[in-house]
Amino acid sequence: MEKPLVSVIMPVYNGEKYIGKAIESVLAQNVPTELLVIDDCSTDKTELTVMKYMDSGNIRYIRNKENMGAARSRNRGVKASKGKYIAFLDADDWWEKGKLEAQVKTMELTGCDICSTGRELMQPNGHTTGKYIPVKERITYHDLLKHNSINCSSVLLKREDALAFPMTHDDSHEDYITWLKILRRGGFVVGINKPYLKYRLSEGGKSRNKLKSAAMTYQVYRYVGYGRLKSLLFFISYAVHGVWKYR
C-alpha cells in the first residue's frame, strides 16, 4: 500500500446499517489514504460489513477488547496511524468526493492548525433535510470559545497535534475540548464553506438531547480550566448560537 498522506479514524459501535456508505466515501477520496476502523465491541454485523471492503488494501480493522467509548477509540486509531494528517469520520456520516484533497491543499497553503468544512444535515434515512450549516473562513481560539462551529467528522489536522492533544472526557464534548487545547497555543482554523460533510442526524447522538448537550458544553469550559462565571458566560454565547444554527 502506498504510504498514506491522510489517516482516517472511524470509531464504530453497532454501525452495520450505515458504515458501508461511510467507508465508500473514504475510498472515493483522491489522496493517498488509509482507513482505521475502531470497532468498540459491536454486537451486530459491523465486522462482516467492514470485511466486504478489505480488498481495497487500505483499510485496517481494529476491535477493542472492551468498550472504550468514542474518545479513547479515536485516540487508539491515532496512535496506530501512519499518515501525516488525521481525519475523523463517524460511521453514520459520509463525505463528498474531493474533501480531503481540498483540505490538504488548504492546510499546506495557510499553515492552519485545523481545517474544517461546512456540513449538510441529513435525515436518518440519508435524505437531505435541506439545511446547511456553514463554517467561517477563519476561526480563532476566542471565536471557538463562544461557539463550537467545528464538527468532528469534518476535521483535518496534523497527526502530531492529534497525538499531543488526545480526546478526553467522553462524558462531555471530547472533540471540542481537543480543538480548544490546540488553538490555545495561538493557532487558527480555516473553514472551507462547502458541504463536503453529510451529517446524519440520529436519535441516539449526544447532540440530539439538547439539555444534555448543553450541560456537556458547560462542562467543556470547566474541563479546559475556566471558573464557573466565565464558563456561564461562554455557555450563554453557545446557547444563542445554537438557536441560530438549528433555526
Query: Residues near 202 by Cβ (< 8 Å), separated by ≥ 6?
Result: 92, 124, 208
CA distance 71 to 173: 9
Q: Look at residue 42 and tell me if it is in a domain.
A: yes
Q: Look at residue 27 and tell me if it is in a domain.
A: yes
CA distance 221 to 178: 12
Among 86, 97, 26, smallest CA distance to 58 is for: 26
Cα separations (Å) of 11 from 8, 42, 81, 86, 151? 10, 11, 13, 13, 15
pLDDT tens by residue, the chain, 247 residues: 679 999 999 999 999 999 999 999 999 999 999 999 999 999 999 999 999 999 998 999 999 999 999 999 999 999 999 999 999 999 999 999 999 999 999 999 999 999 999 999 999 999 999 999 999 999 999 999 988 889 999 999 999 999 999 999 888 899 999 999 999 999 999 999 999 999 999 865 555 567 778 888 888 888 888 888 888 888 887 787 665 555 5
Q: Look at residue 211 and tell me if it is in a domain.
A: yes
Inter-residue contact 135 to 149 (CB < 8 Å): yes
Q: Look at residue 1 and tell me if it is in a domain.
A: no
Q: What is the pLDDT of residue 238?
A: 79
- Residue 186 lies in domain: 6-245
| Grid cell in block for residue 40 | 468498540
3-state class (DSSP) for residue 231: helix
Report the CATH number that the domain containing residue 42 is assigned in CATH: 3.90.550.10
CA distance 69 to 166: 13
Q: Look at residue 234 and tell me if it is in a domain.
A: yes
How many structural domains compose the chain? 1
| Grid cell in block for residue 91 | 460511521
Q: What is the pLDDT of residue 103?
A: 98
